[in-house]
Structure 1
Amino acid sequence: MEADLYDEFGNYIGPELDSDDDEDDLDAEDRDIDERDEDEDDDPGDEDENVPGMEVVLHEDKKYYPTAEEVYGPEVETIVQEEDTQPLTEPIIKPVKHKQFTLMEQELPATVYDMEFLADLMDGTELIRNVTLCGHLHHGKTCFVDCLIEQTHPEIRKRDDVDLRYTDILFTEQERGVGIKSTPVTMVLPDSREKSYLFNIMDTPGFVY
């Protein structure tokens, strides 16, 4: 029977079959009916006018975040603080720390020494400390050295309220009031236990030269 439906070349010669176009037409009609139903449901006359989110709200009346009372309740006390009024390094609630220490009064060790004692300390390398004073211009490097000189050599004092500037040995340095070259100075300084150390202090200028 199937041989009567096809010719010798395999072409179909039987009765006409239902085409897919008819099914597409039916599907298109069903879609049109569904769209008409949706349009009827979306009729603006049937909508409620009190739908939230559709009303006009002014910018100053907008509310972006809930208040602290709405989040935590009215019975919770809240503290509102402006931005950058307190540094991040300082906590809002500081921890309670009980400091335990004892106060001891101790006399400062003597800082005056003899040149022979200084020369003897040069033999012990474990007692020698090399220190360099670095900093910007006019930050007090030379004045710090002057304070050490006055502390260890009472006979050297500034006169007529003029800065000592002990390490400014050049005439141009004294005239300009600024260090130009690095100047070393050696002195003996004790610690709190009256143990003396030999300090080689280098006073440097506060600029590149």
Structure 2
Amino acid sequence: MDDNLYDEFGNYIGPDIESDQGSEGEEEEDEDLPDRHVQEEGQQSDGEAPDGVSNGWITAANDVDMDNQIVLAEDKKYYPTAEEVYGEDFETLVMDEDEQPLEQPIIKPVKNIKFEVGVKDSSTYVSTQFLIGLMSNPGLIRNVALIGHLQHGKTVFMDMLVEQTHHMNTFDQKSEKHMRYTDTRIDEQERRISVKAIPMSLVLEDSNGKSYLCNIMETPGHVNFSDELTAALRLADGAVLIVDAAEGVMVNTERAIRHAIQDRIPIVVVINKVDRLITELSCPPRMLIIN
């Protein structure tokens, strides 16, 4: 080694060497080699890029974490499109099924909705002029409320009064049931229970044969319809309490008596369904005779 080319510390102090520039140029060329190598590899047959190469840049699979990327719900593709399944030659229609509610039948039946039974025979024993004459005299008018518990016979008792004052028979021989004249609603006829208080004007005679115009209000016996009972008692001058002979005093019977006493309305008690004492309770008939 020439001592003139190096100092005491070993640093080169000699003239410039031309080969150093070439080596530096080679190093610069070597730095470009990876890009050139990628470009040469990218220029394969049919212009296809190899795996991990995109537009001349090397991308590793681990560089992009696809699992952690946020994808919106509207951008997700859960099912293939109809065109992908059936092809372009088919026309596909997308329709919503089960749009019809479950309460509505597929084939709706023809139904005539009715709430009232209709106008019944109203031929009475007295003439219309006589009835109008009684209405013009307030002293001959009596407002009566027919009260009692459920299924104690108020509606059938009303049928007896209608049969007494009209040219008609309220008992059906085929069905062996009463007509239930005051049950004018269809649901009342089907359920065999009164829902609304029904007023009816009848001409009745007392023990002396004097005629009076009685506005009788037949009230429901169910506890849920006790408001109809209260309203009828507010309009009544007197009350007729129907009591089943076999069942006796029930819950709504006590309620009706309490309302009548509060309104200071006189009460007439009618013991109904006495035949149940003989047929169901096996009571001898001689015990039912009242002296």
Bin for the TM-score computed over the shorter chain: 0.3 to 0.5
Greater relative CO, 1 or 2 (CA 8 Å, sep 6+): 1
TM-score normalised by L of structure 1? 0.45
TM-score normalised by L of structure 2? 0.33
Higher Rg: 2
Please identify which structure carries the higher helix content: 2
